[in-house]
Structure 1
């Protein structure tokens, strides 16, 4: 999950009071350890202490925060750093899948078929969850399908070992340490056993892949057995996801958005998540639905235009509920996959416009080069980190405007070639 402020639990507040330098619990970005963190808070020094030295120091901090010493010792019994976790933490893939390939995998025929079966099998529970939290059951099942393949792929690594490894040597040790403390709180409440607390290499847990702080604030005991079990109890897992989305400003009964068609000569600079306009205003700008039919010019609901593959690909107007999904995972591709998969369960969700499948995505090396060249030529892309964020997209737009190209902010091979040419 992403960008939703997370309230620190009481024990976490205590730890923050006694352990200066720990990460302030802020955003549960993707509901994973890869979530964004506040600049300037993360510890960056090299860890010269051994794992046992770090563990003993952390034990003192955890006990000062209220963790039972016997529980701590039981949780850490036999725990040593996991080299596979460190490898995963340090690896940055050179190539990423284009959005159309990601969607194809996310909405496979098998995932659609299993999702429909789960909707039928759990209809009663889903109806109750929908009534209590106001979140569309199809969205919940889509999240369930993408996060853990309907509970069949939750990860099998010890959450304590993974987080301890990352807290000792990981890139964002402060954040990992705060998650580790939250994991100990979960164990202390008795929601799950030490052996049962398994998840991904980054510490995401259960059928809905919550990180520990998100679990502490939003997991619910929907079946009323006294435990918030997102590992083995589908009702708890799905209701917890619904509770999180409700807290992320989900609007009951509202659409996530729709595919649209843009007129010739449209100002692609308007395709930006920071821009919201009433549907009536988009209609005035010549935006129609995907079939070319007029939008509802009477609608006052606001929407944002996104172009996941630039101006050559499909266009979408997305609304508040799309942003709520982004709080769960701050990826446009992910949010689009959830929204469209939920529609596929109901017999719709087909995209009409073609994807630019001949457009080879930039590799990480090429994205770094793009940012370096943008910076060298005065377009101010922000950090040179290989991540195409808001600042880089604005820099790309400035370059595109200078070149007389459609200013969609989309990085592609043609743009990189233009930058290379400008320096020669």
Structure 2
């Protein structure tokens, strides 16, 4: 999902993260901490009431769907077989958080096997990717990286009954405003023959197919890539590739521009000027001593931020306007940076230089740090042991105040000083 949709969270994919869009984007082994970014858990009514008597709830959904154009017999038949799935609620309530560092996650997710598989798929579907770039301006490596991280190129798409998952989450009163519209959209897909309420499976939060999308997004951005008259993201790689391209374009992709580049940084520079949201031109960074690790820096006037996922002694990247599309796809900084790095590798960039990052904090130490930062007046959000954007900004501010290199990477030295 974009991220409006991506604020969910993944759940079953192979090495992907586990939490990004509304709450069910799949991601397997690595429970992703985008969960921290999930939408508010406060009960809110959507277009109809949530909770309560299940039959009354289904009757309300049927009335709303029919009013929205779903044929009454289709809605009635689909909803008659709907069931609440307790396992979906368990997943929703028990989402893990993503506490891996960038180097840990990227090393695992951007593996040699996945790079090889990605390159093979770009060759196998070369004509489809050519169409994706021609029609939507999105290059093959960008689409392929998402495809690989989401489902290992379709190998792991989730095994929850999609319709029941959406019914369950729309009935539940935690986020009905997010899932009830997805349930109505699923009924439209059923009417069109693109979803079978009995057999279609996917992520626990209702995301479907090789690039894991929710029904509303499939309807809005779906592209029939194989010409069969349907958008079937589960079984058609062509549909998945072109739909992802259309969606990425809608997120604001700037054709022909880079998204991320590994760079080398000098031993000393104004570290407080680094981080997302602090932009200079490429030429401005070059004047501070930033150089490309491979090849040449892009256009001198292109705006860029310098990000240091694990501080000034770890890997460094310039990120450009297109990097924001990754953040809209998934708001986890570690996942986003890994996906963008994966795409550069698929485009021919060499393996990154890990450097020698200072040792980070344990979960308990991070919680202690967050408590101290909050006591100092910083908004770090929930004290959860996760290095999110609020904590990074607070760390950088305190590093500056204490005369430490303000690279946004929390260390035991900072914790001790506070």
Q: TM-score normalized by structure 2?
A: 0.83
Aligned 1:69-218 pairs, distance under 5 A: 69-93=72-96, 96-169=99-172, 171-218=174-221
Per-residue displacement from partner, 1:203-250 (whole Å, max 9, x unpaired)? 111111011222122111122322112111111110001111112222
Is 1:222–1:236's contact at 8 Å kept on the other side of the alignment? yes
- CA apart distance, 1:366: 5.0
Is 2:186–2:215's contact at 8 Å kept on the other side of the alignment? yes
1:224 aligns with 2:227: yes
Count of residues in Structure 1 that have an aligned counterpart in Structure 2:
393
- Distance of aligned partners of 1:245 and 1:398 in 2 relative to their CA distance in 1, 3 Å threshold: same
Is 2:280–2:303's contact at 8 Å kept on the other side of the alignment? yes
CA distance in 2, matches of 1:375, 1:264: 31
- Distance of aligned partners of 1:282 and 1:107 in 2 relative to their CA distance in 1, 3 Å threshold: same
Structure 2, unmatched stretches of 5+, are 7-18, 25-33
1:405 aligns with 2:395: no
CA distance in 2, matches of 1:47, 1:415: 46
CA distance in 2, matches of 1:81, 1:156: 15
1:253 aligns with 2:252: no
Is 2:150–2:211's contact at 8 Å kept on the other side of the alignment? yes
CA distance in 2, matches of 1:53, 1:386: 41
Report the more deviating stretch, 337-346 or 41-50.
41-50
1:310 aligns with 2:300: no
Q: State the match for 1:392 in structure 2.
A: 391
Report the more deviating stretch, 76-85 or 236-245.
76-85
Is 1:310–1:410's contact at 8 Å kept on the other side of the alignment? yes
- Distance of aligned partners of 1:242 and 1:226 in 2 relative to their CA distance in 1, 3 Å threshold: same
Is 2:260–2:344's contact at 8 Å kept on the other side of the alignment? no
- CA apart distance, 1:183: 1.6
CA distance in 1, matches of 2:80, 2:112: 43
Is 1:31–1:209's contact at 8 Å kept on the other side of the alignment? no
CA distance in 1, matches of 2:39, 2:281: 32
1:62 aligns with 2:65: yes
1:348 aligns with 2:338: no
CA distance in 2, matches of 1:202, 1:4: 14
Q: TM-score normalized by structure 1?
A: 0.82
Per-residue displacement from partner, 1:103-124 (whole Å, max 9, x unpaired)? 1121112212211221222222
Q: State the match for 1:370 in structure 2.
A: 369
Is 1:150–1:207's contact at 8 Å kept on the other side of the alignment? yes
Is 2:166–2:183's contact at 8 Å kept on the other side of the alignment? yes
Per-residue displacement from partner, 1:62-113 (whole Å, max 9, x unpaired)? 3333333322232233332212211111114366222112111211122122
1:301 aligns with 2:302: yes
Per-residue displacement from partner, 1:263-293 (whole Å, max 9, x unpaired)? 23312222222122211111122222237x9
Q: State the match for 2:326 in structure 1.
A: 325
- CA apart distance, 1:157: 1.2
Q: Secondary structure at the match of 1:303?
A: strand
CA distance in 1, matches of 2:76, 2:247: 32
- Distance of aligned partners of 1:48 and 1:253 in 2 relative to their CA distance in 1, 3 Å threshold: closer
